[in-house]
Chains A and B, each alone.
Chain A
Amino acid sequence: MNALSIRNLRKTYNNGFEALKGIDLDVEEGDFFALLGPNGAGKSTAIGIISSLVNETSGSISIFGHDLKTDRANAKSCLGMVPQEVNFNQFDTVKSIVVNQAGYYGTPRKLALERTELCLKQMDLWDKRDMVSRRLSGGMKRRVMIARAMVHAPKLLILDEPTAGVDIEIRRSMWKMMQALNEQGTTIILTTHYLEEAESLCRNIAIIDQGRIVENSDMASLLSRMHIDHFVLDLAEPLVVVPVIDGYQIERIGDKVLNVGVPKEAGLNQLFNQLSALNIKVLSLKNKSNRLEQLFMDLIDSSSAGINQ
């Protein structure tokens, strides 16, 4: 069963801006799905419509088979939403934010308290339960929003840039939390600007640009389309002349730093053999950029070119 099905979803704002131009999307139950796109591409509008914060112009959405228009209560009960920005009352305590949300979903008080304890412990916030939420750190506020979204045990959880602006340690711990939730059976849709996050967490991916889905496939097959990997080589000695090696694109980006484009079929062994023959000693090597980022930029560029034509 699909956790989410979107059909021909369109949104035109009052000022005439067409944010969504008829998107179709399916997310399978149990998936960890990435929804990517540059700013203003339409992903926040799509998420806003799925979570009933934005009225669609036309099209349909169903969540676990429940149509969002005709079977609204059941559709919404399956959905948990973690927004991009803090949207809880910052004068409320952590516990009351989560308990009240359970109440909005019709959860009886006793069960709401039990589930609140469970979710806050899962998010490592139980000892902060009586703290007024505005006193929490940024990372804690984001975890409060995850606990709040999980308190009614949704089958589909949408996280809109959950790790934006948090430090690496918190980001890593949030990745673990998301992976744990997914392993427990929750379908997760993630939007993020950190493409390495999507690459390491998500199994399937859709890229949205200028109101259209420009890519929708599984992560592995998308990444396999990469023909050239880019590496940065740190050298032991400064170079006087940039080496020329057939099949490789080499450019100098510092006295002792080279940027090398390596075709997949060529591999690295031949490159190192040739560099050794030229008496160039390589101290270390790293990926110049994330592979998904490269693909993302290629797709967005080709999408823009198509639109401009």
Chain B
Amino acid sequence: MNNTIALRTIVTKEIFRFIRIWPQTLLPPAITTALYFLIFGKLIGSRIGAVNGASYMDYIVPGIILMSVISHSYANVVSSFYSTKFQRNIEELLVAPVPNWIILAGYVSGGIIRGLLVGLVVTLISLLFADVVVNNLLITLSVAFLTATLFALAGFINAVLAESFDDISIIPNFVLTPLSYLGGVFYSVDMLPSIWQTISKGNPILYMINAFRYGLIGISDVKIELAYLITGGFIVLLAFFSLFLLHKGIGIKN
């Protein structure tokens, strides 16, 4: 059994899937983020002034890019894997000698690729509004990659446990979006009252956005090492939980 071929088959299928429906997957983030840059960055941002030494436009660019990476890496896996379950195509994989970790790696890779591709599209849009000069390329790329991996895994777990299409929209709408908005995309936590600063530091997305912001413009509210530790820790945790679900067949087998 050649696992590389099976992995490549799943990843290729996933890439073709989101490319085929590009008006639903790649175009909306370009339009949404262009509006963010225009309204928050240009129109309102010019009145806010500098945040931690950076112009408001430059300050929000990293957060908006990473927010797109988070939502699209998650959305790709949750919608694709749940549809696979719903249409029972998952049986094609379960009947075949594909190890569970290959199934997980295939779907998560699809989510990472879409997340990073959308991140690239948003970055290109941001160039129309801000002069993005990368402070540390390695940190920028590694944080984007790890964040995409983490949320692709989270999307996978959501899809496995979901029993209806409602279940795959609850987490993105009621958990992911609020945590992203409250994760310091549009503001520095230093601007919050002390109690909200403490509460905000319980939000893991805050660490990822700040680490990414540090990679791009050299500004962060948190320690970069701590951001890597939290992101890496969650990845390991979610990966093991995903494999446990697959091993037990929870949500996919009778």
Report A's interface with B, CB cutoff 8 A. Answer: 13, 45, 48, 51-55, 72-77, 79, 81, 83, 85, 87-90, 96, 100-101, 103-109, 148, 152
Contact = CB atoms under 8 A, between A and B. Distances in A.
Contacts of B3: 106
B92 A77 contact: no
Contact of A53 (B2, B6, B84, B253): B253
Closest 8 CB pairs of A and B: A103-B9, A106-B2, A104-B96, A76-B97, A87-B88, A73-B97, A73-B1, A54-B254
Given A53-B94, A54-B254, A76-B95, 12 more contacts: A51-B91, A52-B253, A73-B97, A75-B97, A77-B97, A81-B95, A83-B88, A87-B88, A100-B92, A106-B2, A106-B3, A152-B96
19 contacts: A51-B91, A53-B91, A53-B95, A54-B254, A55-B248, A55-B249, A55-B254, A72-B97, A73-B1, A77-B1, A96-B13, A101-B96, A104-B9, A104-B92, A104-B96, A104-B98, A105-B1, A107-B5, A108-B2
Interface in B16-62: none
Nearest to A14: B254
- Chain B at the A interface: SS class: helix
A293 B1 CA distance: 43
A227 B214 CA distance: 87
B93 interface: yes
Contacts of A96: 13
Contacts, number: 81
Interface size class of B (residues with CB under 8 A): 20 to 34
A101 B97 contact: no
A75 B91 CA distance: 16
Contacts of A103: 5-6, 8-9
A52 B94 contact: yes
Nearest to B16: A96
Nearest to B96: A104
B89 interface: yes
Nearest to A88: B89
B87 interface: yes
A48 B1 contact: no
Interface in B208-254: 248-249, 253-254
B97 A105 contact: yes
A100 B12 CA distance: 10
B96 A105 contact: yes
Contacts of B84: 89
A293 to B, nearest CB: 30
A54 B1 contact: no
B87 A87 contact: yes
Given A83-B91, A103-B8, A13 B254 contact: yes
A76 B96 contact: yes
A113 to B, nearest CB: 13
B241 to A, nearest CB: 19
B157 to A, nearest CB: 19
Interface string B93-109: 11111100000000000
Nearest to A106: B2
